[in-house]
Amino acid sequence: QIEEFLDDNDFVHNPRIRRERLEKFRKAIQKAPFDETLKREIIQKWKMQLGARAVFVRSSSNSEDLPNFSGAGLYSSKANRIDEKQIIDAVKYVWASLWNFDAYEARVRNYVSQTDVYMSALIQLGVDMDRGGVMITKDPFDEQNKNAVYISAVCGHNSKIPDNKGIPEQILFNPTSNSVVVMTRSQQENALAFDESGDLKETHDKCANAQGRVLNDLQVRNLAKAALGIKRAFGSQKTQDIEWGIMNGRIYVVQARPYLEK
């Protein structure tokens, strides 16, 4: 199908037509029958390895985390899948997201071949975090400050940061001086939590204190320690971009990937 698109001048030269055809293609993937053998294998592993608990179905493509092409945010994932149908539907949704319009356009701009890209779905236990965010093992605002750890923190789940309306808490930790510098205080209007029927729901719960702090200094230092440990585990040369969450006082690392230097 994609090869046919690439041979069509209207598709190649008209972004409106590209958007429409890619949307139809994604819908066709999501509506297509799912291989029964693969379905049984997925559900069996979900039950045996993950205890049939709520999971995230995350995108993992060979066209992201490349040396000059991050691909971050281009593909789609599904949160808090709680039954067999939700999981299989989420896998198809993730597969189809390889052909998100923005992803296609980004690959064109970065000379990534559309016929050599593939998508897989990573199924991992969901964490109904009370705080979450991202960390970068350098100061993203100061190229010279490579030893700092930058932390962005929100109340509730971090998987849809744009939906956590308001300003997150932003912190810089300096390992040399063991200092915590609060750059912005939380001004969140809402938080995201697991919905009993699946996916995430918006709540008005607030975890920030009266001073707008989402994290206390001990939590900041523990997160920074984890971030620097992850950087060492990957050879210490690459700056790491890390998704994290805290649930019941315990830190969970959801993902670590190379940070694309500007």
Q: What is the pLDDT of residues 206-221, one digit of tens each?
A: 778 888 899 999 999 9
Q: How many CA atoms lie within 13 A of 38 on its CB side?
A: 8
CB 160 within 8 A of CB 190: no
Mark 111-150 as b/e (b = at least 16 C-beta within 10 Å). Answer: ebebeebebebebeebbebbbbbbbbbbbbeeeeeeebbb
Place domain 2-125 in its CATH homologous superfamily: ATP-grasp fold, A domain (3.30.1490.20)
Choose among 2, 14, 254, 13: nearest CA to 134. 254
- pLDDT value at position 78? 95
Query: Considering the chain, what percentage of its residues have pLDDT values greater than 90?
Result: 75
Amino acid at 140: P
CA–CA distances in Å: residue 250 to residues 40, 221, 241: 33, 13, 20
Low-confidence ranges of the chain (pLDDT < 70): 159-166, 262
- pLDDT value at position 262? 57
Residues of the chain with CATH 3.30.470.20: 131-258
- pLDDT value at position 171? 96
- pLDDT value at position 211? 83
- Fold classification of 131-258 (topology level): D-amino Acid Aminotransferase; Chain A, domain 1 (3.30.470)
Q: Is 198 left (phi over 0), alpha (psi -120 to 50) or beta?
A: left
